[in-house]
Amino acid sequence: MSKKEESGNSRRDFLKLGLTAAPAAVATAALGSADTAEAASGAPEEGMQDTAHTRAYYESARF
C-alpha cells in the first residue's frame, strides 16, 4: 500500500466511528437523564428535608 491509501483508510475509519458514536452518545445521555428524573420523583415529600446538613446550616446562619 502506498502512503496515500493508508492515510485515506484511517480517515474514513475515523469518520465512520464519529458518525456512529454521536447518535449513541445522544441516546445514552437521553436515557440517563430519564433515569435520574424517575429517581428524583420517587420521594413525594414536600418542603425541605430535615438532615444534619440543613441543621448545621441553620445553626451557622443564626445572628
Residue 49 domain-assigned? no
Residue 25 domain-assigned? yes
Query: What is the rounded distance in angstroms from the CA atom of residue 7 to the CA atom of residue 1?
Result: 10
Supply the pLDDT for residue 52: 93
Residue 24 domain-assigned? yes
How many structural domains is the chain composed of? 1
Supply the pLDDT for residue 13: 86
pTM over 0.85: no
Mean pLDDT over each residue of the chain, to the nearest integer: 74
Residues of the chain with pLDDT under 50: none
Given CA atoms 8, 10, 13, 14 in this order, what sign does their dihedral have?
A: negative
Structural domain including 31 reads 1-40
